[in-house]
Amino acid sequence: MEGAPDGDVRVVSRSMVRSAPPPAMVKGNGCRLPKEEVEVIHLTPWDLRLITIDYIQKGILLPKPPVSGDDLVNALAASFAHALARFYPFAGRLASEEHGDGTVSVSLRCTGDGAEFVHAVAPEIAVADIISSLYTPPVVWKFYSLNEVLGADAAIHQLPVLAAQVTELADGVFIGMTLNHSAGDGTAFWHFFNTWSEIHRRAFGGSTAGIIVAGDDLRDIADLSTPPPSLGRWFVDTCPVPIPMPFRTLQDIVKPFQRTTVQECFFTFSAASVKNLKSQANAEIAGTSATGATISSLQAVLAHLWRAVCRARRLPQDQATFYSVVVGCRGRVSGIPAGYVGNAMVFGRAEATAGEVEKKGLGWTAWLLNRGVASFDEATMRESLERWVRTPDFTYMGNLSSAGTALVTGSSPRFDVFGNDFGWGKPVAVRSGAGNKADGKATVFEGPEGGGSVSLEVCIAPDALARLVADEEFMDAVSLPAAGVKGR
């Protein structure tokens, strides 16, 4: 974004925050307590297939707190430690074990070594620098630690599973969190974030009066509205635990991610705009072979994006293009407990030519996405997990982005982002870091106004993104930032 400062983000301190000793956990569900009393959580196929991509990186922009510097950071570190006590596996380390038969297994060891906690300052960066334009300034990527680190790197180099960075800005603060994707998915990520913010809000409110050290009990810690996590792992009955993968070492699984030049914009669709897109999509399929399907709000918004990105990329009419959308398995698969912290997601896929996406309209394109989600079948999913054990496959962002012809959307508008009030006001905005940023990555969030609004963080090649922002059909549905800046 021209005119926005790249800024100098200076790290003031970097420490390892450890949680209180975890309670004893019942054996089973992938958990084992060896003789040395280090609890071991074995990873599922859902976890293992994501060990080849970057950490999850999401964060919130908050208004200026009433305190700053060490007072602010010490209080946030104390509440972070207490949240970590509830999610104590996140204070552990991934470990790989090479077996004599040419296989390797990976587990999450609850060592209590801690999560990284970083304090940084960027006094030249203001809140408006981040939110006043559609374009996301590159400085946002500096608000996170463990940048461009693959999940497997945590086991190979003994890196933390979880990290948080508190960056003080000129008139606000950005709290960014980084989580190894094999340790948890977006649902688990925001579950932890919601727990942390509630603990801090209840303990400190808007001040740091009577700072409580990490080892003490925080007021109301036993009475959180955020539900407790379920820390065991869910396996299909026939799955071996741990899972032996047919590779000599963990390094054999890793493929270097060829990171291409991309740029990102943050688009928000008001509740009224989302309603209009949904109504249009459902009206277009009425009386067609797709009659009977009900297009959701999110499917209508993603179809609108897919059509516009095909135009922006100037894809040939006969060019195959596909859209991969995350489908959550919680509530769709029996046996997964409430508050499940592991990964529980698969990709639904829709495919068509660019010409079909353009000519057949919003409703038909949304119907393709609807079919991709509706095709989820629990029995088929269980069979795929069993098959994975025999022939494991892994997620590589290079494959998902598919050389500028595809889109992939993660996250969910159902995640409670704007409820993360740490005690001095609700978030102003949400932004993600450099993790898994490839040509065609779109991340969906709840919109800042609530009530059905949706935001999309879209990351594509710079020339295509410029054409997307200039596409009147697409932009007519988008709410411009407060400053009214449409371009750079």
| Sequence-separated (6 or more) residues with CB below 8 Å from residue 286 | none
Helix (H) or strand (E) holding 350: strand 345-353
The 3-state DSSP class for residue 193 equals helix
CB-based contact 178:167 (threshold 8 Å):
no
Distances from the Cα of 183 to the Cαs of 77, 131, 437, 447, in angstroms? 21, 31, 19, 27
Say which DSSP state 93 is in.
E
H-state helical runs in 113-205: 127-131, 151-157, 186-204
Distance CA 243, CA 43 (A): 8
Q: Which DSSP string corresponds to 233-250?
A: ----TT--SSPPBS-SSG
181 labelled catalytic: yes
Task: For residue 390, give every residue at least 6 positions away whose Cβ sits within 8 Å of its Cβ, in sequence order, or none.
Answer: none
User: CA–CA separation, 317 vs 322, rounded Å?
Assistant: 14
* Residue 403 φ/ψ region, left for φ over 0, alpha for ψ in the -120 to 50 degree band, beta for the rest: left
Place of tokens 């997307």: 468
Which residue shows structure tokens 């999450």?
Answer: 108
Rounded to the nearest 5°, which phi and psi values hold at 338?
-65, 140
Catalytic residue among 82, 181, 200, 304: 181
Instruction: Quote the CA–CA distance of 193 and 167 in Å, as a whole number.
Output: 16
Rounded CA separation 306/440 (Å): 10
Q: Which residues are catalytic?
A: 181, 421
